[in-house]
Chains A and B, each alone.
Chain A
């Protein structure tokens, strides 16, 4: 079965640079979520989109922005990168059926800021 696809899988950037992560949800899923997971930490919710509109917002820094496009893929843009942004970034998707909204995760994109 098709899963959530994230790219790139690994990314190395320098401080103050910009990075863009892409997420391709499971076909027919209408909701995308972004999470950040630092080393040894639990995943932290950043932001979510439903039908191309932002649906909820978590602890996403102002330097980060995201959007969901007409084909339902999503991009997370991170600017003015800081060392503390080094983390594993997960995208997840779901079909917002209103019954037990199960979320399926991608394998993540490793961002290293040097």
Chain B
């Protein structure tokens, strides 16, 4: 399973764009990249998933370079309610063992 590395924490201000980069140097051909958001005492919530290039939905964008050894979650115009832990997961679409690494604690300030 690909190991992921993310910054431990990040600070931002309301209205700014936040980019969180995850390194996954040994990603396998079949692996997808998925990002989750977790608030204290709540279950992780799916944000976005991608395989290559760029994916966008109503809450975030995911940028994946051609070598797929990293990915960047982009949150446009963050608000105080985006303060949470963000996890990057890399998994085999045929596997049953999705492992959480150390997430990024994002703190959004007014």
Contacts and interface: CB of A to CB of B under 8 A. Distances in A.
Are A and B genuine complex partners?
yes
Interface of A: 4, 31, 33, 35, 42-45, 48, 50, 55-56, 58, 88, 90, 92, 96, 98-108, 110
Interface string B40-56: 01111110010100000
18 contacts: A31-B96, A42-B102, A43-B100, A45-B98, A48-B97, A56-B95, A98-B94, A101-B93, A101-B98, A102-B49, A103-B34, A103-B46, A103-B98, A104-B46, A105-B43, A105-B44, A108-B41, A108-B43
A108 B96 contact: no
A28 B94 CA distance: 18
Interface SS of chain B: loop
A8 to B, nearest CB: 15
A100 B42 CA distance: 23
A99 to B, nearest CB: 6
Contacts of B91: 101
A100 B100 contact: no
Q: Which size class do B's interface residues fall under?
A: 20 to 34
Contacts of A33: 96, 98
Interface of B: 32, 34, 36, 41-46, 49, 51, 87, 91, 93-103
List 6 tightest A-B contacts by C-beta distance, closest first.
Answer: A105-B43, A55-B96, A56-B97, A56-B96, A100-B32, A48-B96
Contacts of A50: 96
A101 B42 CA distance: 21
Given A42-B103, A90-B44, A100 B98 contact: no
A42 B41 CA distance: 12
A45 B43 contact: no
Nearest to B85: A42
Given A100-B34, A100-B51, A101-B91, A45 B42 contact: no
